[in-house]
Structure 1
Amino acid sequence: MKVVFIIGNGFDINLGLATQYENFYRFYLGLDSSNDSIQVKKLKEHLKNDQDQESRYQYWSDLEIGMGNYTVNFSNVKELKEAYYDLNDRMQEYMKIIDKKDLPASINSQKLIRDLSYPDQYLRPLFKEEIYNFLKKWGTSVYETYIVSFNYTNVLEKILKIKENDNMQLSNSRFGNSNTLYPIIHIHGKVDAPLIGLNDKNQIKNELLRENEEVQECIIKPKLNEMLAHLVDVKVDNHIRTANLICIFGHSLGDTDKLWWNLMGERLKTDCRIIYFAYNPKELLRPSELNNIRRKYKNLLLSKTSLTESEKKMRLIKSI
């Protein structure tokens, strides 16, 4: 039985860490710009102007898509690299500062272990029963749990008190079998080498630079993972393809990671369920609105996949 957790920036934000794009924006534009190159100054001016727009960047994925759109302002690879490398280097500096901060003393590692062991505990009784009946197929199986973190920080490792390559035992499954958490995978790298960029070349809006191999290797995340040859992307691909239960927490499902959402969509065609934990403090949980809210987030997730409309409606209605 394989359980895969997809952890996004909402996890770190929920712990009080200043890891939102807006936090980095203030840090980046607050730096001394007197020695910046022309391209970096232009990029910063673009980011300043963006904050005045109603459709301004809110998430990291918005910034990444914005980077792809902004490529139309470059006439050659050198200009693109100047701007991109500065943004990436300053982001690395900022994330290192954040990662060094102490976590709140109130954080309970045992609670996180329980949450990883029993992610269905927060579901309403009907849906909890549906998940339980689904999991009964593996009632005699040992559990393998994997965390794919889209974050750069080592927050999860700190809370769980584990090192980079450590396994740890979670609570036994609901059927009394062992449950092992394997080393946490950081698909976007860590604070010492963060990856920020696009999903594919179609998100590069500069048609003159779109097919340039150097440009693709600079700002397309799957290309970056491929060049690093660390097999992290291969592991994540395999885990999603073979997962029986996928739990998504704190992720905005941005288009710059749609490679992974497409894989999840394909996996839903087989023996797999997804639990999508969504949080929006502006939504009123009126009983009459619960189904609308569930539909909204289910449709959001399915819209990020390449599934056909018939597959979404007929085969996957109870998979999420």
Structure 2
Amino acid sequence: MNLFICGNGLDIHIGLKSRYINYREFLEGRGENIVNRLKAFKYCNINEEDMTWNDLESNLKLDYEGYIKEYLDLFNRPRNKPGVRDSEEKLRKTSDFGLSDFTNNIYQFTGELFWQWLVYMYNKEKIQSIKGKYDHNTSDLSHLKNNKEDLFINFNYTRSLEDVFEIQDKQILHIHGSLEKRGVNITLDDIINADAKMWRKIQFGSIDNNQDDIEDYINGLNISANNNYFNVEELKYDLIGFCNKSYKDITYNYSKLKDFIKDKKVDKVIIMGHSMMGVDLKYYENIIMPILNDSIWEIYYYNDNKEAIKFINKFSIPKDKVRLIAW
């Protein structure tokens, strides 16, 4: 049995405009200024236009140590100190500390707007066109068509495996969620209820925005703020609110991933367009490699094989058990 691990490179390869730059173009085409608002917040690094999804999720990490340090420098002073007449309201409206506004922007960016782009990008007409291209046995992905023997871990939110290659749902684990089966037939209801659907179906955010880490860090500072311009619990509340809107807890997926691949007779692992050494590396470290380390590995790559080589070296995969395939 083969185990296919599919990333965004597969969707790009079959013709979907599913890069991060395509999402940005969608937002700009609708007159959304949200990317510029996110770029203006200096405690996350969302500045590069040519980022990949992997880069984006890494850069959504909040520099909470830098944020807290500057926050304390500004607010951790007595209200009644002579010469300090700035009002608390004025201080809290400074552009550098607009965390509540940034949290709302992130919530839209990784939630409602992202869902709307997915259903716009993954439309019925486009999928039917792509499906026609792969409805014969001469394509480079003919081994996927009507595949009823193998297993698939899909890191994409799309259902291209099901809709284009007619692979059965039971063979596929959408590790971070996916569009509903009817997603290709988008309705007005889908748009109106995009926010609720998004958070029910999709995991999108940074693996580093963990509220427990932030709470531990603040508690370790032993801040005394009696009669000062801020409250420690309010600071925690604001930061945790951001984490709740921007955190992707991949450890939540460990058990279902383990159950999906354990006790299966997987002879070969085939990685197609997935960034193994990025934010998803922990899946390999903690679940996939401990179970499937003795398997044969085939890795499809774009442009260069540097990441594949790093992956092979990291896990000491023998040369006679790995094959690199240029896409």
In the superposition, the TM-score normalised over structure 2's length comes to: 0.59
1:17 counterpart residue number? 16
Relative to structure 1, is the Cα distance of residues 254 and 10 closer, same or farther in structure 2, using a 3 angstrom cutoff?
A: same
1:299 counterpart residue number? 309
| Consecutive unaligned residues in structure 2, runs of 5 or more | 68-95, 180-196, 219-234, 323-327
1:86 counterpart residue number? 108
CA contact (8 A) 1:199 1:259 kept: no
| Consecutive unaligned residues in structure 1, runs of 5 or more | 120-142, 168-181, 227-231, 284-292
Q: Match for 1:153: what amino acid?
A: T
Over aligned residue pairs, what C-alpha RMSD do you find?
Answer: 4.0
Q: Match for 2:27: what amino acid?
A: Y
Question: In 2, distance between residues paired with 1:68 and 1:44?
Answer: 13
Relative to structure 1, is the Cα distance of residues 20 and 236 closer, same or farther in structure 2, using a 3 angstrom cutoff?
A: same
Q: 1:190 aligns with which of 178, 198, 202?
A: 178
2:144 counterpart residue number? 116
Relative to structure 1, is the Cα distance of residues 77 and 69 closer, same or farther in structure 2, using a 3 angstrom cutoff?
A: closer
Q: Which has the larger radius of gyration?
A: 2
2:85 counterpart residue number? none
1:267 counterpart residue number? 291
The alpha-carbon deviation at position 251 of structure 1 amounts to 1.4
Q: Match for 1:146: what amino acid?
A: L
Relative to structure 1, is the Cα distance of residues 29 and 157 closer, same or farther in structure 2, using a 3 angstrom cutoff?
A: same
Q: Match for 2:24: what amino acid?
A: Y
Question: In 2, distance between residues paired with 1:49 and 1:216?
Answer: 16
CA contact (8 A) 1:68 1:205 kept: no
The within-5 A match list for 1:1-320 is 2-33=1-32, 42-45=37-40, 50-51=47-48, 57-69=50-62, 78-88=100-110, 89-100=112-123, 101-103=125-127, 104=129, 106-111=132-137, 114-116=142-144, 144-161=149-166, 166=168, 182-191=170-179, 192-193=197-198, 194-201=202-209, 215-222=242-249, 226=252, 234-242=255-263, 243-253=266-276, 255-262=278-285, 263-269=287-293, 271-280=294-303, 296-302=306-312, 307=315, 312=316, 316-320=318-322
Relative to structure 1, is the Cα distance of residues 248 and 49 closer, same or farther in structure 2, using a 3 angstrom cutoff?
A: closer
Deviations 1:263-298 (A, max 9, x none): 3332354x3222111132xx6xxxxxxxxx5xx454
Question: In 1, distance between residues paired with 2:21 and 2:210?
Answer: 26
Relative to structure 1, is the Cα distance of residues 200 and 67 closer, same or farther in structure 2, using a 3 angstrom cutoff?
A: closer
Deviations 1:29-61 (A, max 9, x none): 343358x7xxx753055699824xxxx542101
CA contact (8 A) 1:189 1:195 kept: yes
Q: Match for 1:17: what amino acid?
A: L
CA contact (8 A) 2:3 2:269 kept: yes
Relative to structure 1, is the Cα distance of residues 244 and 204 closer, same or farther in structure 2, using a 3 angstrom cutoff?
A: farther
Question: In 2, distance between residues paired with 1:196 and 1:278?
Answer: 24
Partner SS, residue 151 of structure 1: coil
Relative to structure 1, is the Cα distance of residues 185 and 264 closer, same or farther in structure 2, using a 3 angstrom cutoff?
A: closer
2:70 counterpart residue number? none
In the superposition, the TM-score normalised over structure 1's length comes to: 0.61
Question: In 2, distance between residues paired with 1:316 and 1:246?
Answer: 14
Q: Match for 2:28: what amino acid?
A: L
The alpha-carbon deviation at position 214 of structure 1 amounts to 5.1
Relative to structure 1, is the Cα distance of residues 86 and 319 closer, same or farther in structure 2, using a 3 angstrom cutoff?
A: same
The alpha-carbon deviation at position 217 of structure 1 amounts to 4.3
The number of residue pairs the alignment matches comes to 243
Question: In 2, distance between residues paired with 1:76 and 1:204?
Answer: 22
